[in-house]
Chains A and B, each alone.
Chain A
Amino acid sequence: MAYIEFEKVSKVYDMGEVKITALDETSFKIDEGELVVILGPSGAGKTTCLNILGGMDSATSGKVIVNGKEITSYNEKELIKYRRNDIGFVFQFYNLIQNLTALENVELSVQICDNYIEPVKVLKDVGLENRMNNFPSQLSGGEQQRVAIARSLAKNPRMLLCDEPTGALDYKTGKQILKLLEKTAREKKMTVVIITHNSAISQMADKVIKFKNGKQEEIIINENPKSIDEIEW
């Protein structure tokens, strides 16, 4: 039984005259501890898929089973609990709370968690020991993203979902972030799902799911994922 399982999941936006199919009966599996990269061009459905997995969106049809639980049947309350404790999400544009410092942002996310890691520690882990009391506007893009990651990690989630985490960063910074993610995945044996449209990154993944037109087109399994240090693009 795979840890994460998508079974014919569809997401259709019905806007009166038009119907937009974001996901078209997509199905795939992800095992626990896997580092998965979801590839695909814009509009392929990658983000939609991740959103559903992260409990932030609902599927029109199909099932998503995580750790044996069918999250697509969750009601609102259950979804909140799911997001609270099981998910760590990293956005392309960080989505930090502008009015809170880096530390506070992390503290915010863990104050509702049952089982969390000390925010200071996590921030230290991500190398922001000296930037803990800065506001997002005072941090660079990379620092902000590291805060976002720290925020997610501090929750001690079951999985880390990252939607184009390096999309707004330069090459070097991006690589640093990816390194962090990799480290988390390997060391903590956490299931990490990364959306990117940079195919080079897929080399670090255990599994690569290629999305096209709302469904997985191809699922590639990397026997020997490379370390991000080794990947150049």
Chain B
Amino acid sequence: MKLKNRIVTLSLREIKKNIKRFASLAILSFLGVTIFVGIKLASEDMLATLDTYYDDNNMYDIRIISTLGLTKNDVNEIKMLDDRLTVYGSHSKDFIIKSNDENVILKIMEISNENTGFILNEGRLPKNKDEIVVESAMLIKNSLKIGDTIFLDIEDGEEENFKSNELTIVGRITSPEYLINGNGSSGRGSSSLGNGKVDFYSYTVSDFFNIDYYTEINVNVNNNYKTNSQEYNELIDEVKSKIEKIEEERKKQHYNEIVKEENKKIDEKEEEYLNEFNNAKKELESAHTMLLNGYEEIYASESSLNALKNQLDNSKEEIKRNEDMLKNASSQLNASKEQLESAINDINNELSKYNLDYENALVIKKVIEGVSLTKEEVISLIPKDIKIYDNVINVIDYIYDNGYSEAVGKLINGINKELIISLIPKEIENYDKIVDYIKDIDISKLRKKVINYLLDSKNIEKVKSLVPKDIPKYNNIIDVIDKCKLTVDRALELFNGIDKIQEGYEKYIEGLKELNYGNYQLENGKKEYEEYLNYYSSAIYQLENGKKEYEENLNKYNKNLEEYNTRKFDFEENIKNAREKINNIEYPKWYIYNRLDDSDYVSFLSSIESIENVSLIFPVVFFGVAIFISLISMSRMAFENRSEIGTLKSLGFNNNEIRFKYVVYSLLATLVGAALGATVGYFLLPRIIFNTYGILFEIPVFIYSSDIIQVFIGIILSMLCICGATIFTINSLIKEKTTILLRPKAPLKGKKILLERIKGVWNRFSFSNKVTIRNIFRYKKRVCMTILGIVGCTAVLLSGYAIRDSVVNLVATHFEEIFRYDDSVYVNDKISKEEVDKIFASSSIKEKLYTSVQTVKFKSSELELIAFYDESKLSKIITLKDKSSEEELKLQDNKIIVTSKFAKVHKINVNDIIEISDVNNKKYSFEVSGIAQNYLGNFIFMNRKTYEDNFEKYKTNMVYLKIDEKEEEKIISELLENTNVLGVSSTSDTLERLNGIFGSLDTIVLILVIFSGALAFVVLYNLSYINISERQREIATLKVLGFYPKEIDSYILKEEIIITILGVILGIIVGTWFGGIIVETVEIDMAQFIKKITLASYIKTILFMILFTVIVNIRVHFVLKKINMIESLKSVE
């Protein structure tokens, strides 16, 4: 009959009998495997999740953004670079919308089949341009729901680009482009609107966008690599460099295209308007000419009118003069008339004697004067004594002969000397003398002579005959003549007088005539003058009108001219500005991003990295503790099984057969625990960790990675640890001789201890204390193990806290001690320093630091290079102090200061020379003059001179600000209104985001602290249990001897307490050191954790350990109480 294997029976019975121990081994295994598998897989699952999330939703591998937009040609060119590429262009835009009286900035992106997709959480997709789907956080934070409408604030000039400004929310989505949970406050990237932060993202249909260029180009590279694996990163770099090769060409083309187009537009406009202007100009010119003509006319009119006026004035004057003259003449005439009349009166008076009057005298005169002398008479008159008497006679002859008697005949009237002279022929003898003689004739004497001749009585008859018979007073006159009562002289006088009167009278008559004529003329003149005056007046009036009209027209013309000029000027200015604007169109800059440039992604990877780092340490710790406890537990078990092993040996079982039971026992325990642990670790823990991160990240899916290897590794590790510990313990026992095993274990020998030799001290101890101390040295092995156990647990507990402490304060400390700014502002680097000064001129800005920041590479790590405009201002905002000596560091020319983490990772020391490369892969070498303490990020600092000596002209592109807290928000919005401010980021936002990342680490650490605590408890429990069971006899004996329970307790517990205190003190020291190491291991690349353990953490750890010890000791008390004296003493001997 086949025998059942009783070793197997034994093994199984052992489990049943000692289920608690079996369970504790299983639990150890469970814990170790759970932690190992769970944490290891957590990071892998999260990566796998991200990978799947990205792949399922077409997340871009590379994204290109251009400051000038991108075109279909760009898309095509990029497509042609590699046939693994899917390239498509997309549109997006930030808008301000009003929500609850606040401005919210919403990024709207385009939905297309090729684009990055998203997960629809609720509702449906938008069907037209008036519908939109938004992220969940937007609904929550703004109390909106599906069905509500939002209103976009579209900027002036952009109305054409967007087809709708009222959009109805039809659904709620989550997109892989934004991993960070929207319920936080970190925002969705930076924007040039509002306060610089995009608040929410959303999607709508392509129809919404009416822009002829793409705002971004997305590139998907066909591959099967895992996100962030080395193959993936290399592939992306490869594609990226291909794109970079054509970047310049594309930029140039696009730029030229745009410039050309813009110029064309301007040209067209210019032409259009120039025609108009030319026409207008022509019109104006003709108007001008007309005006000029008009002006000339007026001028002429005016001139002539002026002349006329002058004339009129002159005329007036003349008239006045004439009037005066005429008046004078009139009075003169009157005077003359009076004179004449008086003269006539005189004559009348004189003639009244003769009964004659003036009139008669006239007749007489006339008669006398009418007497025409004959030749002989004339000759008789000529004085005979002149020399030229003969000549003169000849002349007279001549004259009479030639019929010119008239000239000489009326000698009484005088002679016309000239006439006579003219009648004298020049050939006459003594012409000249005759002429002279004639000239010399005294007319009056001649007249007298003549009259005398006439009035001679011989000649009177002739005279009388001459009197007309019909005249009045004929008789009187004849009478007078007859009587010739007048003397010749008197007659002459009378005749002269009458002549004069007659002359005078004629003159008077003439004068009167003239006067009348003059008056008449004057009247005419006056009339004429009046006419002309009227004419002039009306002409003036017309002129005035004409002038007014002219003025009006002139004004109109001027206005038109002005308008024309203004418009032309404006137009020209506009053209000039437009052309300038074209010049100002910046040569485009391309930004080629891959996933690693997405800060959400990097945050995620950082979180994973920190988990990975944790996964290196804690499983090790747990397994270490598992080994430790297994050793303890199994040695206890071995102790209990001594005689059994001896018996089996005596029965002839070999070592393997004997070991079998223990191997089976531990293996079963381990496997049971491991299996459970693997399950929990595989399914539950990653999920829990992932969900913890769900506070930070919004990833709506979770994928279990298919990496079961970790599970197997975990199980195997667990087996190795626990079974290994078991076998190790058992082996030492099995190797012993059978007889030794069969005998009960000899109690450890008592020995004198070193302390005893110091008699002075030793004698002071009470007996029980002496025993206590002796026991401690007696049970060296157990005491050491207990201390080790306590040290381990304390250390692990403290380390957990150390991580938490280091991490928790990291961010705040960084911004309080190192980078002490409130906000950082990106500015356009093309503006001058003066313009930058103007931007930051507000008095609420307490400090400002101008820097030039760029990303550089060292080996394969990226870091930021910061050059300072004014290094003396540095210390106001950034603290650069040496990591170890804490003394302040100063920038030196052509040297750089690097930050501590960077130096540590790459093993860089002061005075080393390192080579960095910029974005164009140009290399630079610098000597490191100092290593500055820093907690977040990796930086290289240099002063301006260094920058300008090595790179290019310094241009500020980033300004760090310290702002008065109350004014901060106002200042930020003001800054963002400035077109030269490209973005603002505040440390409070960064703080929140980073604290989020670190906060989740905090949770994980807390979980670990709890586990550690549990472990600590189990260790202490087990150890004390062993302690007691090994000394059962001893304790029973004490009971027999009559010790009180309290005394028995104290017998054991005093040892325990001393050991615990020693263990805790050592544990604190080890924990501090170990914590430091763990912090370094768990540290992520971008941060240097502050290795600092707060006093609170120390106290907490000590308190926890004391708590555990107290709990265990309470249990000890109960166990001690249970020890049955009799049974204990009865056992094998």
Chain A residue nearest to B651 (CB atoms) is A109
Number of interface residues of B (CB under 8 A): 28
B652 on the A face (CB < 8 A): yes
Contacting pair B742 A112 (CB below 8 A): no
Q: Which listed residue, A89, A95, A108, touches B10 by the CB 8 Å rule? A: A108
A100 on the B face (CB < 8 A): yes
- The smallest C-beta distance from B644 to any residue of chain A, in angstroms, reads 6
Contacts of A85 in B (CB 8 A): 652
Contacts of A98 in B (CB 8 A): 644
Q: Which listed residue, A83, A91, A100, touches B6 by the CB 8 Å rule? A: A100
Contacting pair A111 B650 (CB below 8 A): no
Known A-B contacts A80-B653, A85-B652, A97-B647; A111 and B5 likewise in contact (beta carbons under 8 Å): yes
Stretch at the interface among A49-57, A191-199, A210-218: A49-57
B353 on the A face (CB < 8 A): no
- The smallest C-beta distance from A155 to any residue of chain B, in angstroms, reads 8
Q: Which listed residue, A51, A100, A111, touches B13 by the CB 8 Å rule? A: A100
Contacts of B17 in A (CB 8 A): 99
Contacting pair B651 A112 (CB below 8 A): yes
Chain B CB count within 10 A is highest, among A56, A89, A104, for A56
Chain A residue nearest to B8 (CB atoms) is A111
Chain A CB count within 10 A is highest, among B13, B14, B644, B647, for B647
- Cα A137 to Cα B134 with chains together (Å): 76
Known A-B contacts A95-B643, A97-B647; A83 and B652 likewise in contact (beta carbons under 8 Å): yes
Report B616-656 CB contacts with A as 1/0, cut-off 8 Å.
00000000000000000000000000011011111111100
B20 on the A face (CB < 8 A): no
Contacting pair B652 A81 (CB below 8 A): yes
Give the residues from 95 to 117 in chain A that come closer than 8 angstroms, CB to CB, to chain B. 95-100, 104-105, 107-113
Chain A residue nearest to B13 (CB atoms) is A99
B841 on the A face (CB < 8 A): no
Interface size class of A (residues with CB under 8 A): 20 to 34
- The smallest C-beta distance from B630 to any residue of chain A, in angstroms, reads 21
Contacting pair B10 A99 (CB below 8 A): yes
- Cα A112 to Cα B738 with chains together (Å): 18
Chain A residue nearest to B742 (CB atoms) is A95
B355 on the A face (CB < 8 A): no
Contacting pair A95 B652 (CB below 8 A): no
Contacts of A54 in B (CB 8 A): 650
Give the residues from 654 to 669 in chain B that come closer than 8 angstroms, CB to CB, to chain A. 654, 657
Report A111-148 CB contacts with B as 1/0, cut-off 8 Å.
11100001000000000000000000000000000000
Contacting pair A112 B653 (CB below 8 A): yes
Contacting pair A95 B3 (CB below 8 A): no
Contacts of B649 in A (CB 8 A): 56, 80, 83
Q: Which listed residue, B6, B643, B654, touches A108 by the CB 8 Å rule? A: B6
Contacts of A89 in B (CB 8 A): 650-651
A77 on the B face (CB < 8 A): yes
B745 on the A face (CB < 8 A): no
- Cα A77 to Cα B649 with chains together (Å): 11
Contacting pair B738 A51 (CB below 8 A): yes
Known A-B contacts A100-B9, A104-B6; A56 and B644 likewise in contact (beta carbons under 8 Å): no
Report B1063-1087 CB contacts with A as 1/0, cut-off 8 Å.
0000000000000000000000000
Contacting pair A112 B644 (CB below 8 A): no
- Cα A107 to Cα B13 with chains together (Å): 15
Known A-B contacts A77-B654, A81-B652, A109-B651; A104 and B9 likewise in contact (beta carbons under 8 Å): yes
B739 on the A face (CB < 8 A): yes
Contacts of B653 in A (CB 8 A): 80, 84, 112
- The smallest C-beta distance from B936 to any residue of chain A, in angstroms, reads 62
- Cα A58 to Cα B738 with chains together (Å): 10
Contacts of A77 in B (CB 8 A): 654
Contacting pair A56 B6 (CB below 8 A): no
Chain B residue nearest to A86 (CB atoms) is B652
Contacts of B757 in A (CB 8 A): none
B386 on the A face (CB < 8 A): no
- The smallest C-beta distance from B737 to any residue of chain A, in angstroms, reads 6
Contacts of B742 in A (CB 8 A): 56, 91, 95
Contacts of B654 in A (CB 8 A): 77, 80
Contacting pair B650 A84 (CB below 8 A): no
B4 on the A face (CB < 8 A): yes
Q: Which listed residue, B651, B737, B1132, touches A83 by the CB 8 Å rule? A: B651
A3 on the B face (CB < 8 A): no
A93 on the B face (CB < 8 A): yes
Known A-B contacts A84-B652, A100-B6; A95 and B646 likewise in contact (beta carbons under 8 Å): yes
Report A36-59 CB contacts with B as 1/0, cut-off 8 Å.
000000000000000100101110
- Cα A155 to Cα B934 with chains together (Å): 78
Contacting pair B650 A107 (CB below 8 A): no
Contacts of B737 in A (CB 8 A): 56-58
Contacting pair B13 A95 (CB below 8 A): no
Q: Which listed residue, B6, B14, B644, touches A111 by the CB 8 Å rule? A: B6
Contacting pair B652 A56 (CB below 8 A): no
A66 on the B face (CB < 8 A): no
Report A67-92 CB contacts with B as 1/0, cut-off 8 Å.
00000000001001111110101010
Contacting pair B644 A97 (CB below 8 A): yes
Contacting pair A111 B739 (CB below 8 A): no
Contacting pair A108 B739 (CB below 8 A): no
Contacts of A97 in B (CB 8 A): 10, 644, 647-648
Contacts of B10 in A (CB 8 A): 97, 99-100, 108
Chain A residue nearest to B643 (CB atoms) is A95
- Cα A79 to Cα B147 with chains together (Å): 91
Give the residues from 1 to 52 in chain B that come closer than 8 angstroms, CB to CB, to chain A. 1, 3-7, 9-10, 13-14, 17
Contacts of A84 in B (CB 8 A): 651-653
Contacting pair B14 A99 (CB below 8 A): yes
Contacts of A151 in B (CB 8 A): 651
Contacts of B646 in A (CB 8 A): 95
Contacts of A105 in B (CB 8 A): 6
Q: Which listed residue, A56, A107, A155, touches B738 by the CB 8 Å rule? A: A56
Contacts of B652 in A (CB 8 A): 80-85, 87, 109, 112-113, 155
Contacts of B1 in A (CB 8 A): 118
Contacting pair A93 B6 (CB below 8 A): no
- Cα A81 to Cα B737 with chains together (Å): 15
- Cα A108 to Cα B458 with chains together (Å): 233
- The smallest C-beta distance from A131 to any residue of chain B, in angstroms, reads 17
- Cα A139 to Cα B850 with chains together (Å): 95
Contacting pair B657 A112 (CB below 8 A): yes
- Cα A89 to Cα B647 with chains together (Å): 9
Contacts of B13 in A (CB 8 A): 99-100
- Cα A107 to Cα B1 with chains together (Å): 11
- The smallest C-beta distance from B1104 to any residue of chain A, in angstroms, reads 39
Contacts of A51 in B (CB 8 A): 738-739
- Cα A115 to Cα B686 with chains together (Å): 57
Chain A CB count within 10 A is highest, among B647, B651, B654, for B651
- The smallest C-beta distance from A24 to any residue of chain B, in angstroms, reads 18
Contacting pair A57 B738 (CB below 8 A): yes
- The smallest C-beta distance from A112 to any residue of chain B, in angstroms, reads 6
- The smallest C-beta distance from B22 to any residue of chain A, in angstroms, reads 13
- Cα A95 to Cα B13 with chains together (Å): 17
- Cα A99 to Cα B620 with chains together (Å): 36
Give the residues from 149 to 188 in chain A that come closer than 8 angstroms, CB to CB, to chain B. 151, 155
- Cα A51 to Cα B17 with chains together (Å): 31
Contacting pair B6 A107 (CB below 8 A): yes
Contacts of A109 in B (CB 8 A): 651-652
Known A-B contacts A80-B653, A95-B643, A99-B14; A56 and B3 likewise in contact (beta carbons under 8 Å): no
B residues near A (Cβ < 8 Å) are 1, 3-7, 9-10, 13-14, 17, 643-644, 646-654, 657, 737-739, 742, 1132
Could you list some 14 contacts between A and B, CB below 8 A?
A54-B650, A56-B737, A58-B737, A80-B649, A83-B649, A83-B651, A84-B651, A95-B650, A97-B647, A107-B4, A108-B7, A108-B10, A108-B651, A112-B653
Q: A89-B651, A108-B651 are in contact. List 8 more A-B contacts (CB 8 A).
A: A56-B738, A56-B739, A80-B649, A80-B653, A95-B646, A99-B13, A100-B9, A118-B1
3 closest A-B pairs by beta carbon, nearest first, are: A84-B652, A108-B6, A56-B738
